[in-house]
């Protein structure tokens, strides 16, 4: 296929602004289809791979693994293991994480270059609908690149509320390299990022206090899951305070003095504010190309991720839709198919936002796919709910009081399983497989006919037979 402009010659066929998951996937796949592709990623953080690889999913999951070991050692006593309690080497954990991320950054770069993508370590700013100005370094000379198509994939960034002393507050970006390790950590927020970091640093040895202004953490998740996880977090040692917040932060000789809503204060060594993320559009020059933004600053796009400027597309967190790495990857492939055609023998892809599985890597973890009970009642009417709570086999000897919750939401008229939720060990690993079944339209009868793997927690999803009384 010839991608040269019929009316105008461009320097490149596709210019990708941002080297995160969505941008890298789109650049690679477009180049492999024969397009000339240029990608610009500004130097420093987050770097190639974007938030997920550098300051999000990957390092957070690595630290989540690390946080399990102290608890695992305690639990091992019930299985006959003895020995001195382990001690965390915070410096070694940080260095090993840096080494792994450097390896991943290199892998991303090799994949791009190997596909024929021109990679620029530079800041990119739109000049018009077909022109990007790139600047390498603070004192680097700017040059302009013309592109037939431009893809904006700049992701999002943490948002810190305007409170006195906000300069002392950290975001999730800074949590992986804290120095020194915080003996006392205050986490502000109740979303998945706040809950994950509260769990992680509690497991690593911090005394963690978590403040959330709402009545329960994980707003938007199933209510049973929210309540159950909140209780489990407190059992693990997190001082979770609901309907609470901070009004100011001040640095003192004893650490950070945080004034609380409603009165009172708390002294801590570090404050993490995880109260939401906003689309990363500042300084992109989108206004020069006439690109429309939503009230939240997100880039507005159609079903093919095209903006109101026909030559400009956007995918991932910058569009403010579903802020998950796999979603950005799927969206990127839709753009590539739309611009350069699908692989031979395949129809152009489309992204479905139904039954997107997700996990929260708290301790215990959360896995969920489909509708919450409240959503199903509101949208489907008559439903059946199946719920099971139990102590996992592992904890019959471990001495831990941790419990597992599993829940199914079923549409009565079709018998289709429309919601599946879990709090428990390896919830994400378990829910992923069930998400495939639900995407394929599995019914409760299909679940009932499936033989479980015994003894596992996962088998509970195919052995629940009696709906919760009064839940229909």
DSSP code string of 284-299: S-GGGGT--B-TTSPB
**Percentage of the residues of the chain whose pLDDT score is greater than 70:** 96
Give the burial class of 50: count Cβ atoms within 10 A of its Cβ; 0-12 exposed, 13-18 middle, 19 or more buried.
Answer: buried
- Look at residue 141 in the predicted model and tell me its pLDDT: 82
Q: Which two tokens stand for residue 11?
A: 């320097």
CA distance 346 to 336: 13
pLDDT at 74 over 60: yes
CA distance 147 to 254: 55
- Look at residue 6 in the predicted model and tell me its pLDDT: 45
- Look at residue 85 in the predicted model and tell me its pLDDT: 86
Q: Report helix, strand or coil for 365.
A: coil
Q: Look up residue 343 and give its DSSP letter.
A: P
Over residues 380-436, the pLDDT tens digits come to: 999 999 999 999 999 999 999 999 999 999 999 999 999 999 999 999 999 999 999
Give the H/E segment covering residue 409: strand 404-411
- Look at residue 4 in the predicted model and tell me its pLDDT: 42
pLDDT at 82 over 50: yes
- Hey, how many other C-beta atoms are within 10 angstroms of the C-beta on 348? 12
Comparing CA positions, the residue from 198, 176, 173, 172 lying closest to residue 185 is 198
CA distance 48 to 346: 30
Q: Report helix, strand or coil for 384.
A: strand
Q: Where in the chain is the domain with CATH 3.50.50.60?
A: 12-56+93-157+278-340, 166-275
- Look at residue 138 in the predicted model and tell me its pLDDT: 65
Instruction: Pick the more confident residue, 83 or 145.
Output: 145
- Look at residue 47 in the predicted model and tell me its pLDDT: 78
What pTM does this model have? 0.95
Secondary structure (DSSP) of 244-285: --EEEEEEETTEEEEEETTS-EEEESEEEE-S-EEE--TTS-
- Look at residue 339 in the predicted model and tell me its pLDDT: 98
Over residues 270-303, the pLDDT tens digits come to: 999 999 999 999 999 999 999 999 999 999 999 9
Beta-carbon contacts of 32 under 8 Å, excluding residues fewer than 6 positions away, are 115, 116
Mean predicted confidence (pLDDT) in 315-326: 96
Give the burial class of 469: count Cβ atoms within 10 A of its Cβ; 0-12 exposed, 13-18 middle, 19 or more buried.
Answer: exposed
- Look at residue 249 in the predicted model and tell me its pLDDT: 98
Q: Is the dihedral of CA 451, 454, 460, 464 positive or negative?
A: positive
pLDDT tier at 357, thresholds 50, 70, 90: very high
pLDDT at 359 over 60: yes
Mean predicted confidence (pLDDT) in 344-357: 94
pLDDT tier at 372, thresholds 50, 70, 90: very high
- Hey, how many other C-beta atoms are within 10 angstroms of the C-beta on 142? 12
Mean predicted confidence (pLDDT) in 178-196: 98
- Look at residue 470 in the predicted model and tell me its pLDDT: 65
Q: Where in the chain is the domain with CATH 3.30.390.30?
A: 358-462
Query: CATH homologous superfamily for 166-275?
Result: FAD/NAD(P)-binding domain (3.50.50.60)
Q: Look up residue 77 and give its DSSP letter.
A: G
Q: Hey, what CATH class is 12-56+93-157+278-340 in?
A: alpha beta
Over residues 225-257, the pLDDT tens digits come to: 999 999 999 999 999 999 999 999 999 999 999
β-strand partners of 322: none
Show which residues are catalytic: 454
Q: Look up residue 188 and give its DSSP letter.
A: E
Comparing CA positions, the residue from 276, 45, 97 lying closest to residue 204 is 97
Q: Hey, what CATH class is 358-462 in?
A: alpha beta
Comparing CA positions, the residue from 219, 151, 173 lying closest to residue 50 is 173
pLDDT tier at 45, thresholds 50, 70, 90: low
Q: What is the pLDDT of the chain when averaged over all its residues? A: 95
- Hey, how many other C-beta atoms are within 10 angstroms of the C-beta on 177? 11
- Look at residue 2 in the predicted model and tell me its pLDDT: 41
Q: Which two tokens stand for residue 22?
A: 């969505």
Tallying the residues shown for the chain, one arrives at 472
Over residues 130-148, the pLDDT tens digits come to: 999 999 876 678 999 999 9
Mean predicted confidence (pLDDT) in 450-455: 98
Mean predicted confidence (pLDDT) in 69-79: 95
């Amino acid at each position: 296929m010839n991608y040269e402009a019929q009316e105008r010659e461009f320097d490149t066929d596709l210019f990708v602004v941002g080297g995160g998951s969505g941008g890298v996937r789109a650049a690679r796949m477009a180049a492999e289809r024969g397009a000339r592709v240029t990608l610009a990623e500004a130097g420093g953080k987050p770097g190639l791979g974007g938030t997920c690889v550098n300051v999000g999913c990957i390092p957070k999951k690595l630290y989540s693994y690390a946080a399990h070991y102290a608890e695992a050692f305690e639990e091992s006593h019930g299985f006959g293991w003895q020995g001195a309690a382990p001690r965390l080497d915070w410096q070694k954990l940080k260095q090993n994480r840096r080494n792994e991320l450097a390896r991943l950054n290199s892998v991303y770069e090799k994949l791009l270059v190997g596909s024929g993508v021109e990679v620029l370590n530079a800041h990119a700013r739109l000049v018009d609908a077909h022109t990007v100005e790139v600047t390498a370094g603070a004192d680097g000379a700017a040059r302009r690149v013309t592109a037939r198509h431009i893809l904006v994939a700049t992701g999002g960034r943490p948002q810190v509320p305007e409170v006195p002393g906000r300069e002392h507050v950290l975001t999730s970006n800074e949590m992986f390299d804290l120095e020194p390790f915080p003996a006392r950590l205050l986490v502000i927020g109740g979303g998945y990022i706040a809950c994950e970091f509260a769990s992680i640093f509690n497991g690593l040895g911090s005394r963690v206090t978590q403040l959330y202004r709402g009545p329960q953490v994980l707003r938007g998740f199933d209510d049973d899951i929210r309540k159950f996880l909140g209780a489990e977090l407190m059992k693990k040692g997190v001082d979770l305070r609901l309907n609470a917040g901070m009004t100011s932060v001040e640095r003192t000789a004893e650490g950070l003095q945080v004034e609380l809503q409603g009165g009172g204060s708390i002294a801590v060594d570090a404050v993490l504010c995880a109260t939401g993320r906003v689309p990363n559009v500042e300084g992109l020059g989108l206004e020069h190309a006439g690109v429309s933004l939503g009230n939240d600053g997100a880039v507005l796009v159609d079903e093919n991720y095209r903006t109101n400027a026909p030559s400009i597309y956007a995918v991932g967190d910058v569009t403010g839709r579903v802020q998950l790495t796999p979603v950005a990857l799927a969206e990127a492939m839709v753009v590539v198919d739309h611009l350069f055609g699908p692989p031979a023998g395949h129809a152009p892809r489309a992204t479905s936002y139904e039954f997107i599985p997700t996990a929260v890597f708290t301790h215990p973890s959360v896995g969920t796919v489909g509708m919450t009970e409240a959503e199903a009642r509101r949208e489907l009417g008559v439903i059946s709910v199946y719920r099971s709570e139990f102590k996992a086999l592992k904890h019959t000897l471990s001495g831990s009081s941790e419990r597992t919750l599993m829940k199914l939401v079923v549409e009565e008229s079709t018998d289709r399983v429309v919601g599946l939720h879990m709090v428990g060990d390896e919830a994400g690993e378990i829910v992923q497989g069930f998400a495939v079944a639900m995407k394929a339209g599995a019914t409760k009868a299909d679940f009932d006919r499936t033989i479980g793997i015994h003894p596992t927690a996962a088998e509970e999803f195919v052995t629940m037979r009696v709906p919760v009384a009064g839940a229909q």
